[in-house]
Structure 1
Amino acid sequence: MTGQYGRWVHAVTRDLDDRRLAGITGVGGAPVHAVREGGLTAVVGPVDLAEFGEDALHRNLENLDWLERVARAHHEVADAVVRFGPVVPARLATVYLDDARVRAALAEQHAGLTAALERVDGRLEWGVKAYAVPGAAGVAPAAAGPDEGPGRAYLRRRRARLTATEQSQRAAADGADRLHDAVGRLAVAARRHPPQDRRLSGTTDWMVLNGAYLVEAARAAEFAGAIRELIPGHPMLRVELTGPWPPYSFTELDDVEATR
């Protein structure tokens, strides 16, 4: 390799046999390797600082195509490692200058990382996204008056459409609150994220719920089945169940978007 290379941290787990990492490539396209400290293992990969250094990251994180590609590669590593034990996925763009600095970070954050691994041991994250169904809670238009002219008819129809839209949005928002509460009761922990950017969600529909739920891995089928039973009770919502994923929403390293 030429140029100056840093270390992109993908995830932290407990002691991990190097053979488990064979064939896994990271964000930079090179094989990942293990950096160990105090019973913890950081799974890292070399990245060219010309693209992944502090200044370059600030530019590239504004590029949605670049961000999508990098996020997918980042996720694939965490998704591979979680098969071998509990994982703390690193925040996107956690970059250190070398392995020694990664080890120092593991030592500094040892207590928090150890506690996080214990908290998610045997558990995975599921996502529930809900979108408002346009017109699902509409209202019947008011009847026309006996002497209603074209102008009044237009205004009446416009008011009816606005009222229907407001009622549909209110019903969808209330339904999302109820759905989140119901799903949360099935999970160990729940978190409600802001709605996704429509450019990332791939739909123009209004997202009213972007929930994450920490669930016992042994109850995955039960959890998914319970969600499917809840969906018919919310006809004003289009619901998507995703997962299982590594527990991004419930364990994280420090938010680092700069090279250390």
Structure 2
Amino acid sequence: MSDVGTYLYAVALAEDPAPSEGLTGVTGGPVRAISHAGLVAYVSAVPLTEFGEEPLRRSLEDMDWLGETARAHHRVVEAVAAKAPTAPVRLVTVYRDDAQIRSLLEQRHDDFVDVLSRIAGRQEWGVKVYAAPSEAPQPEEPAAPSSPGTAYLKKRQASLHTREEAWRQAVARAEQIHDVLGSVAVASHRHRAQDPQLSGREEWMVLNGAYLVDEERGGEFGQVVEGLRGEGIEVELTGPWAPYSFTTAVETGESEARDDGP
């Protein structure tokens, strides 16, 4: 078995492919194009000593390695997407060889074509909504004296009630924002809220949305986001991106890394 695998970044239509010259992949090697069945896959060679199934299990726990790999992956995808409608592939999707890539393009041809047709002329925008947890007001002094333990419990209950109410209001506001943005987009997707360790924020993330927007409406979408900002919440707009969130119809069915046969 070869000790080199084929790392897949993205798929586009072969009729109008983006050039791969000058692009470097996750290990610094050149990106190349594999054309088959009217599609073109953008790939690079990777060592299975690093990108095989077992090594990847360890590497994916290394945040520095994962961040560097993700940045290299996204650079390739964004470069291709800037030139042609592109279906990004999940991070660290590795095949045994080029033959498996051709088999994928043939077997999933219709799925790729459908998705590429749907995302043509459109971009993905990301919107995150944060809300600051409310602090409970200090309770009034009780008319009758109470023990320190009782006073603490009352204060704790008041704090919990206030935070729960603040959470409900923030979630309701996020739902309204999502609905408004969805009316401008042609498709939307809600991702799971990021862990504070990943977001670097102490506030609640009450919306982590992705929106597929016609290119000519990108400015309008940004204006709508701006108009949704308000007291008590922060709205963060990112993009435009390649449409990562809207290519799930062509998930390869592979594990995150694969160096064996079908």
Taking structure 2 as the reference length, the TM-score comes to: 0.89
Q: 1: distance between equivalents of 2:139 and 2:244? A: 49
Q: For the Cα contact (< 8 Å) 2:18–2:84, is it kept in 1?
A: no
Structure 1 range deviating more: 150-159 or 45-54:
150-159
Residue number among 134, 137, 140 corresponding to 1:143 in the alignment = 140
Question: 1:163-178 maps to which residues of 2 (within 5 A)?
Answer: 163-178=161-176
Q: 1: distance between equivalents of 2:15 and 2:49? A: 30
Q: Give the alignment's Cα RMSD to 1 decimal.
A: 2.0
Residue in 2 that maps onto 1:66: 65
1:149 positional shift: 4.6
Q: 1: distance between equivalents of 2:181 and 2:139? A: 38
**3-state DSSP class of the match of 1:47?**
strand
List per-residue Cα deviations over 1:195-215 (Å, max 9, x = no partner): 123332222322211111111
**3-state DSSP class of the match of 1:93?**
strand
Mark the CA change 1:73 to 1:52 in structure 2 (over 3 Å): closer, same or farther. Answer: same
**3-state DSSP class of the match of 1:196?**
coil
Q: 2: distance between equivalents of 1:118 and 1:187? A: 16
Q: 1: distance between equivalents of 2:46 and 2:163? A: 49
1:230 positional shift: 1.1
Question: 1:177-216 maps to which residues of 2 (within 5 A)?
Answer: 177-216=175-214
1:131 positional shift: 1.8
Q: Which residue identity is paired with 2:242?
A: P
Mark the CA change 1:126 to 1:18 in structure 2 (over 3 Å): closer, same or farther. Answer: closer
Mark the CA change 1:195 to 1:89 in structure 2 (over 3 Å): closer, same or farther. Answer: same
1:18 positional shift: 7.7
Q: For the Cα contact (< 8 Å) 1:88–1:113, is it kept in 2?
A: yes
Q: Which residue identity is paired with 1:144?
A: E
Q: For the Cα contact (< 8 Å) 2:104–2:252, is it kept in 1?
A: no
Mark the CA change 1:187 to 1:47 in structure 2 (over 3 Å): closer, same or farther. Answer: same
Mark the CA change 1:198 to 1:154 in structure 2 (over 3 Å): closer, same or farther. Answer: closer
Is 1:223 the equivalent of 2:221? Answer: yes
Residue number among 228, 233, 237 corresponding to 1:241 in the alignment = 237
Mark the CA change 1:10 to 1:19 in structure 2 (over 3 Å): closer, same or farther. Answer: closer
List per-residue Cα deviations over 1:152-183 (Å, max 9, x = no partner): 54444333222221111111111111211111
Mark the CA change 1:210 to 1:19 in structure 2 (over 3 Å): closer, same or farther. Answer: closer
Q: 2: distance between equivalents of 1:186 and 1:223? A: 7
Q: Any unmatched runs of 5+ in structure 1?
A: none
* Divergent runs of 4+, >6 A: 16-19
Mark the CA change 1:19 to 1:81 in structure 2 (over 3 Å): closer, same or farther. Answer: closer
Q: For the Cα contact (< 8 Å) 2:191–2:210, is it kept in 1?
A: yes
Q: For the Cα contact (< 8 Å) 2:132–2:233, is it kept in 1?
A: yes
Q: For the Cα contact (< 8 Å) 1:175–1:236, is it kept in 2?
A: no
Mark the CA change 1:61 to 1:143 in structure 2 (over 3 Å): closer, same or farther. Answer: same
Q: Which residue identity is paired with 1:21?
A: S
Q: Any unmatched runs of 5+ in structure 2?
A: none
Q: For the Cα contact (< 8 Å) 1:12–1:89, is it kept in 2?
A: yes
Q: For the Cα contact (< 8 Å) 1:171–1:236, is it kept in 2?
A: no
Mark the CA change 1:93 to 1:179 in structure 2 (over 3 Å): closer, same or farther. Answer: same
Identity of aligned residues (%): 44
Q: Which residue identity is paired with 1:198?
A: P
Taking structure 1 as the reference length, the TM-score comes to: 0.90
1:141 positional shift: 4.3
Q: 2: distance between equivalents of 1:16 and 1:237? A: 45
Structure 1 range deviating more: 124-133 or 195-204:
195-204
Q: For the Cα contact (< 8 Å) 2:225–2:235, is it kept in 1?
A: no
List per-residue Cα deviations over 1:93-118 (Å, max 9, x = no partner): 21112222211111111110011100
